[in-house]
Chains A and B, each alone.
Chain A
Amino acid sequence: MADQRSMTIKGNMATAMGAKLCRPKVVPAYPITPSTLFPEKMSEFIADGELDAEMINVESEHSAMSACIGASATGVRTCTASASQGVALMHEMLFVASGMRLPIVMAVGNRALSAPINIWCDHQDTISSRDSGWLQFYAETNQEGLDLMINAFRIGEDNDVLLPAMVGIDAFVLTHTIEGVEVPAQEDVDDFLPPYEPPHGRLDPDEPSTFGSFGTPEYYQEFKQAQVEAMEGSREVIDRVFDEFEERFGRRYNKVTTYKCDDADIIILTMGSMTGTAREAVNRMREEGKKVGLAKLTVFRPFPYPELEEIMSGAKGLAVVDRNISPGGFGAVYSDLAGASINIEKKPLIKNFVTGLGGREIFVKNFVEIYEKTLAAVEAGEVKKPLEWINMNQEVMR
Chain B
Amino acid sequence: MTGEDKELFASGHRACAGCGEGTAVRQILKAAGPNTIATVCTGCLEVVSTGYPETAWEIPLIHAAFENSASVASGVEVALKQLGKKDDVKVVAFGGDGGTFDIGFQALSGMLERGHDITYVCLDNEAYMNTGIQRCSSTPYGASTTTSPAGKYSIGEQRPKKPIGAICASHDIPYTATATIAYMSDLKKKAKKAIETKGPSFLHVFVPCPTGWRHASNDTIEISRLAVETGIFVLWEAEDGDICNLNVTVKPKKRKPVEEYLKTQRRFGHLSEEDVKKIQADVDEKCEKYGF
Contacts and interface: CB of A to CB of B under 8 A. Distances in A.
Contact of A205 (B60, B67, B75, B79): B60
A164 to B, nearest CB: 13
A74 B84 CA distance: 12
Contact of B58 (A26, A60, A208): A208
B78 interface: yes
B106 interface: yes
A71 B64 contact: no
A297 interface: no
Interface string A196-211: 0000001111001111
Contacts of B57: 208, 210
A15 B135 CA distance: 45
B78 to A, nearest CB: 5
B107 A204 contact: no
Contacts of B78: 26, 28, 54, 56, 67, 71
B142 to A, nearest CB: 33
A81 to B, nearest CB: 16
A263 interface: no
B25 to A, nearest CB: 14
Contact of A203 (B47, B60, B70): B60
A207 to B, nearest CB: 8
A54 B74 contact: no
Given A67-B74, A71-B78, A92-B65, A213 B110 contact: no
Contacts of B52: 213-216, 219
A76 B63 contact: no
| Interface of chain A, main secondary structure | mixed
A92 B65 CA distance: 8
A68 B73 CA distance: 10
A203 B83 CA distance: 12
Interface string A62-98: 1100111111111110100000000000001100100
A26 B55 CA distance: 28
Interface in A4-50: 25-26, 28
Given A54-B82, A93-B65, A203-B37, A66 B89 contact: no
A379 interface: no
Contacts of A78: 75, 79
Given A28-B75, A66-B107, A219 B65 contact: no
Interface residues of B, number: 44
A272 B118 CA distance: 42
B37 A205 contact: yes
B81 interface: yes
B58 to A, nearest CB: 6
Contact of B62 (A26, A58, A63, A203): A203
A63 B65 contact: no
Contact of A63 (B50, B51, B74, B81): B74
A211 B52 CA distance: 10
A116 interface: no
A205 B35 contact: yes
Nearest to B89: A205
A67 B71 CA distance: 5
Contact of A62 (B67, B80, B109, B114): B67
A57 B64 contact: no
Nearest to B46: A214
A215 B50 CA distance: 9
A89 to B, nearest CB: 11
Contacts of A213: 50-53, 55, 63
Most buried by A among B58, B73, B75: B75
A74 B83 contact: yes
Contacts of A59: 106-107, 109-110, 113
B195 to A, nearest CB: 14
Contacts of A74: 37, 75-76, 79-80, 83
Name, among A69, A70, A211, A216, the residue most crowded by chain B CB atoms within 10 Å (CB to CB).
Answer: A70
B18 interface: no
B28 to A, nearest CB: 16
Contact of A212 (B64, B71, B73, B76): B64
A65 B106 CA distance: 14
A96 to B, nearest CB: 5
Interface in B33-64: 34-37, 39, 46-47, 50-53, 55, 57-64
B119 interface: no
A53 interface: yes
Nearest to A209: B60
A119 B49 CA distance: 44
A56 B75 contact: yes
Nearest to B51: A214
B32 to A, nearest CB: 10
A210 B55 contact: yes
B68 interface: yes
Given A54-B78, A56-B78, A209-B61, 18 more contacts: A56-B114, A58-B74, A63-B70, A63-B74, A67-B72, A69-B64, A70-B72, A71-B76, A73-B75, A74-B75, A75-B79, A76-B79, A203-B61, A208-B59, A211-B63, A213-B55, A213-B63, A214-B47
29 contacts: A26-B79, A28-B75, A54-B82, A58-B114, A59-B113, A62-B67, A62-B107, A63-B71, A63-B74, A66-B75, A67-B71, A67-B72, A70-B72, A70-B73, A70-B75, A74-B37, A74-B75, A74-B80, A92-B65, A96-B65, A202-B60, A203-B60, A203-B61, A212-B63, A212-B64, A213-B52, A213-B55, A213-B63, A214-B52
